[in-house]
């Protein structure tokens, strides 16, 4: 992974071409050494490090330890100075245009999060409505809401560590969605995040759609391990995983879930926890789990786990479709029509699902440490709603232990996370995680994976 041993200056495009003196002043503050500067540096490195084939955050940061980025003022705004950036971001000495756009999307979101969300005091992060308001404003500031709105955005989840047949199926499904003039939103990384976007781009090209949307939602803790793929043309960085997940479900008109690992399980449990809420039972949202025929054991294991932990009633909220990309796209289209009809009848916005009730237990950030993981209550004594939330947190912690730099370091220093709970529930969890390990879904280097967890019954 070579880097360019030089400094480059990059001019902005779009909304950051014309800035007020106040905005320039705030950007210069972010560009100084400190926590905000490190946030900008890491997210920028992820965008510049396009095409990476590793999910080892520490390896990436070590390889480009000499990389830096500075905000430089000029008469009518700012420019960015890059020191020793990854060579893959350049062709013929010029930065690839798509990467330049994403680079300034990083700057836009870091500016908004650090100055408006965290530093202004205008948002109440202690209430459920306040957190939803933050999610809305970040998305609006990023230009995600297109008016007049049309329900056509399909959120696609799935893992980055998938095999080639699964990737090709993700791409085929995206192609069928694109042919139906639907847009795609993913976690913006590789594998099952890249495949649907790449397929949709081909479908859009066949339909002569030049305004196809490939929305990528990420957050600072995982962006280094899941660098935005080259198809992304709308990148949004949310402050944390919980706000990222809420953003997904608020803007989705349908959700398609491909094979994945603990991160995909976290997303599914979050989603099921939302649709299980009594206030949300009548709100239409098409949820489809799909993959090639060879992925049947994966989906069977996921389905068994959901039934055994949250109950068979929850299984009715999604459909499993194998080896039928065209059929999935048809079901998505029908589901979106139901969503369109419902929101029209309720006079709701098409671009943001305000009506969904998301309890604060799903909104408050979960910081995975050895203490917080061991303290999670996973018990039959809990209602299924709370159990879903705690299982989601357990999987979030496993993501931390697998790929987040602070989690990997904690595992190295103190050993695996301990997950405790009822013996029966722990047996189901242990079995599911063992299947992920056996299918090499935990990391890209799955053959040598060392579990970051221990199940305590």
Q: What is the pLDDT of residue 180?
A: 98
At 446, the pLDDT band (50, 70, 90 cuts) reads low
State the pLDDT confidence band at 1, using cuts at 50, 70 and 90: very low
Instruction: Report d(CA 86, CA 64) in Å as an integer.
Output: 8
Average the pLDDT over each of 62-66, 104-108, 208-212, 452-456 and give the range with the smallest value. 62-66
Instruction: Quick: pLDDT tens for 390-442.
Output: 999 999 999 999 988 889 999 999 999 999 999 999 999 999 999 999 999 98
Reported as a single tens digit per residue, the pLDDT across 202-237 is 999 999 999 999 999 999 988 877 889 989 999 999
| Across 353-374, average pLDDT | 96
CA distances from 386 to 395, 427, 457 (A): 14, 19, 20
User: Residue 344: its pLDDT value, please?
Assistant: 96
Residue 133 pLDDT class (50, 70, 90 cuts)? very high
> Has residue 5 got a pLDDT over 80?
no
Q: How many residues would you count in the chain?
A: 457
Question: Rounded to whole angstroms, how far apart are CA atoms 177 and 333?
Answer: 8
Q: For 4-18, what is the mean pLDDT?
A: 69
Tokens in use for 264?
A: 């995909």
Q: What percent of the chain has pLDDT over 90?
A: 70
In the prediction, which pLDDT does 308 show?
96
- The single residue listed with the structure tokens 């904690």 is 410
Q: Domain coordinates of the chain in residue numbers?
A: 7-122, 134-346, 363-456
Is the pLDDT at 334 greater than 70? The verdict is yes
pTM: 0.93
Using pLDDT thresholds of 50, 70 and 90, give the confidence band for residue 105. very high
- CATH class for the domain made up of 7-122: alpha beta
% of the chain exceeding 70 in pLDDT: 93
Average pLDDT score over residue span 146-159: 95
**CATH 3.40.50.450 is right for the domain spanning 134-346:** yes
What's the pLDDT score for residue 54?
A: 65
Residue 14 has pLDDT above 70, yes or no: no
pLDDT at 447 over 80: no
Q: Which of 50-59, 281-290, 293-302 has the lowest mean pLDDT?
A: 50-59
User: Residues 83-93: pLDDT tens digits?
Assistant: 999 888 999 88
pLDDT over threshold 50, residue 251: yes
In this model, does residue 19 exceed pLDDT 80?
Answer: no
């Amino acid at each position: 992974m070579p880097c360019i041993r030089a400094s480059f200056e990059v001019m902005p495009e779009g909304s950051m071409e014309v800035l007020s003196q106040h905005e320039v002043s705030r950007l210069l503050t972010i560009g100084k050494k400190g926590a905000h500067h490190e946030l900008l540096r890491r997210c920028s490195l992820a965008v510049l490090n396009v095409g990476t084939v590793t999910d080892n955050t520490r390896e990436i940061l070590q390889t480009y330890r000499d990389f830096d980025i500075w905000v430089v003022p000029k008469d009518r705004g700012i420019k960015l100075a890059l020191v020793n950036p990854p060579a893959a971001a350049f062709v013929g000495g010029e930065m690839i245009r798509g990467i330049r756009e994403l680079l300034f999307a990083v700057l836009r979101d870091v500016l908004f999060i650090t100055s408006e969300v965290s530093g202004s005091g205008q948002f109440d992060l202690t209430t459920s409505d306040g957190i939803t308001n933050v999610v809305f404003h970040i998305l609006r500031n990023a230009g995600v809401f297109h008016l007049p709105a049309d329900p056509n955005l399909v959120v696609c989840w799935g893992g980055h560590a998938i095999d080639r047949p699964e990737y090709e199926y993700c791409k085929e499904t995206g192609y069928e969605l694109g042919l139906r003039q639907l847009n795609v939103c993913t976690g913006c990384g590789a594998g099952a995040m890249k495949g649907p976007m790449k397929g949709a781009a081909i479908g859009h090209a066949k339909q002569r759609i030049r305004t196809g949307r490939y929305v990528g939602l990420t957050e600072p803790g995982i962006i280094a391990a899941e660098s935005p793929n080259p198809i992304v043309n709308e990148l949004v960085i949310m402050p944390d995983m919980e706000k990222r997940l809420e953003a997904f479900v608020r803007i989705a008109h349908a959700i398609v879930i491909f094979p994945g690992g603990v991160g995909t399980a976290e997303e599914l449990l979050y989603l099921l926890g939302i649709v299980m809420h009594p206030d949300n039972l009548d709100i239409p949202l098409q949820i489809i789990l799909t993959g090639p025929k060879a992925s049947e054991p994966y989906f069977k294991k996921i389905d068994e786990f959901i039934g055994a932990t949250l109950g068979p009633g929850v299984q009715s909220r999604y459909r499993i479709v194998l080896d039928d990309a065209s059929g999935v796209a048809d079901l998505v289209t029908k589901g979106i029509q139901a969503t369109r009809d419902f929101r029209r009848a309720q006079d709701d916005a098409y671009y943001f699902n305000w009506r969904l009730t998301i309890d604060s237990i799903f909104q408050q950030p979960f910081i995975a440490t050895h203490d917080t993981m061991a303290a999670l209550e996973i018990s039959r004594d809990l209602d299924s709603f709370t159990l879903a939330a705690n299982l989601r947190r357990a999987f979030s912690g496993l993501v931390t232990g697998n790929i987040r730099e602070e989690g990997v370091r904690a595992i190295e220093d103190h050993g695996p996370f301990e997950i405790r709970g009822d013996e029966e529930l722990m047996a189901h969890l242990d079995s599911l995680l063992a299947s992920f390990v056996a299918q090499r879904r935990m990391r890209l280097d799955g053959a040598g994976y060392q579990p970051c967890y221990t199940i305590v019954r």
